[in-house]
Amino acid sequence: MTQKLSAAQAPALFTLTTGPVNCYPEVLSALGKPVLYDYDPAFMAYYENVTRKLAKALSSNDMPIVLQGEPVLGLEAAAHSLVAPEDAVLNLASGVYGAGYGEWLKPRAKDFHEIRVAYNDVIDPEAVDAFLSAHPEITLVAVCHHDTPSGTINPIQDIGQVVRKHGALFVVDSVSAWAGVEVDIDACCIDLLVTGPNKCLGCPPALSILTVSDRAWDKMAANRAAPRASILSILDWKDAWKATEPFPFTPSVSEIYGLEAGIDRYLAEGPENVWARHAKTAKAMRAGIKAMGLDLWAVSENIASPTCTSIKLPDGVDETDLRSLMKEAYGVVISSGRAETFNKLVRVGHMGPTAYPLYTILALTALGGALGQLLDKPFDIGSAVTAAETVMRS
């Protein structure tokens, strides 16, 4: 009489996606703490303390801002808050997410410019320099750090220094890179960073994290188009981290508990150690992919993100068939492409709790096994795992 869930409906054994990823156990435990009233002074003091820890995790001298929705909220809010009707903006698009950001910038700016490269490549800082030289009126430049649907990572430090040289504000979407790779806000000259706890920090999706430079605060304050009394307002939350200030609206209490646990773990492990295991995991994965005869999506491995491996889909394979079989036969869930990259690649995330090298052999086995079945020819899982293991032990 008992019923077994179909393999498709059963939860994955291993969620090796580009996010949401499963959370660290500490985070899951923290989510269930009793919910306090947001105006209980105990909660207000707690919120300030979490913000201070977050600043430490960001190596930021300024108090970061937590918005109460997953990072798309932070991204949309940044476009609404920073872009004034008289602005000329430059969007840097090396992938689906970077290009998508233009859709939020464009309707708000007087002039919208874009540098677009192939979605398996990254932005060239020199091209940005040249463009800004030709367009000194540009006041804001936006880029996606790790364009997740491509798995490629832009050189934000070089780009940021170019942008700063030209005096524009620099907005960076580092949602799926931060906490998995180093993001030096000062060295990268970032004026507004948007990230989230739901990728490399190992927390659930429900919050945005922002850092805002003084210049960016000034710009927003001066921008009459910047939202206020809105969920899209960043300004409303400027001082909300202070124990003495009211919240614009009720923060997501349980998610803040989870965020704290994620930060505590990150700081306890040591950010450098966390970045190192993300990098090593990615390296092991790529060694395995190549040993199996598959190709990386990125034009060159050195632009592939340490937090995600994008693999070119072999000819004759439908990505939905592939991912379905990987789940049903092996219990492994990985990510598809999106929009222009859909059905051209698949992606294995190396984020937070799954950014340990041993996870790669799960992905390699399921991927090779499923491809072998779909194409009815063997994929050399053995060599793949051996190659990955060689990286692990190094």
H or E stretch at 144: strand 138-144
**Packed helices 253-269 and 41-57: angle between N→C axes, nearest 10 degrees:** 40
x-or-dash string of contact with a copy of itself, 36-65, rule CB under 8 A: xxxxxxxx-x--------------------
> Does 195 interact with a copy of itself (rule: CB under 8 A)?
no
Q: Residues 375 to 394: which contact a copy of itself by CB under 8 A?
A: 380-386, 389, 392-393
Closer CB to a copy of itself, 304 or 362, in the complex: 362
Closest CA to 201 of 22, 346, 356, 14: 22
CA distance 369 to 98: 33
**Residue 19 touching a copy of itself (CB under 8 A):** yes
Cβ proximity to a copy of itself, 131 vs 178, nearer residue: 178
Binding span for a copy of itself by CB under 8 A among 17-25, 113-121, 124-132, 302-310: 17-25
Residues 72-111 that bind a copy of itself (CB under 8 A): 72-73, 76, 103-104
Residue with smaller CB distance to a copy of itself, 64 or 337: 337
The distance of closest approach from Cβ of residue 390 to a copy of itself in the complex, given in angstroms and rounded to an integer, is 9
Side chain identity at 87, as an amino acid letter? D
Q: Are 390 and 312 in contact (CB under 8 A)?
A: no
231 vs 317, beta carbon nearer a copy of itself: 231
Strands (E), 206-349: 208-212, 308-312, 332-333, 335-336, 345-349
Task: Provide the minimum distance between the beta carbon of 39 and a copy of itself in the complex, in angstroms, as a whole number.
Answer: 7
> Which parts of 120-179 interact with a copy of itself (CB under 8 A)?
none
Beta bridge partners of 311: 296, 346
Q: Pick the closer one to a copy of itself by CB: 212 or 371.
A: 371
Query: Tokens standing for 29?
Result: 């435990």
By CB under 8 A, tell whether 297 contacts a copy of itself: no
> Within positions 251 to 270, which residues make up the interface with a copy of itself, using CB under 8 A?
251-255, 258, 267-270
Looking at beta carbons only, is 36 or 127 nearer to a copy of itself? 36
Using alpha carbons, select from 81, 88, 56, 57 the residue that is nearest to residue 67.
Answer: 81
**Which 199-258 residues touch a copy of itself, going by CB under 8 A?**
204-206, 229-232, 249-255, 258
# residues contacting a copy of itself (CB under 8 A): 95
- Residues in CB range of 347: below 8 A, 6 or more apart: 17, 18, 148, 149, 151, 308, 309, 310, 311, 334, 335, 336, 337
When binding is defined by CB under 8 A, the residue of 69, 95, 197, 262 that contacts a copy of itself is: 69
Which is nearest to 332 in space by CA: 323, 341, 319?
A: 323
Binds a copy of itself (CB under 8 A): choice among 327, 345, 348, 351: 327
Instruction: Please report whether residue 329 would count as binding a copy of itself according to CB under 8 A.
Output: yes
Q: Supply φ then ψ for residue 308, to 5 degrees.
A: -165, 135
Q: By CB under 8 A, which span of 12-20, 138-146, 162-170, 215-223 interacts with a copy of itself? A: 12-20
- φ, ψ dihedrals at 66, nearest 5°: -105, 120
Taking the complex as a whole, the smallest distance from the CB of residue 13 to a copy of itself amounts, in Å, to 6
Q: Give the count of alpha carbons within 13 A of 185, CB side only.
A: 24
Please identify, using beta-carbon distances, which residue of 25 and 85 lies nearer to a copy of itself: 25
Whichever of 35 and 221 has its CB closer to a copy of itself, that residue is 35
Binding positions for a copy of itself, 168-187, rule CB under 8 A = none
Name which of residues 330 to 369 contact a copy of itself (CB under 8 A): 330-333, 335-336, 356-358, 361-362, 365-366, 368-369
The Cα 80–Cα 101 span in angstroms is 11
Nearest to 192 by CA among 101, 108, 306: 101
Token readout for 169 is 């504000």
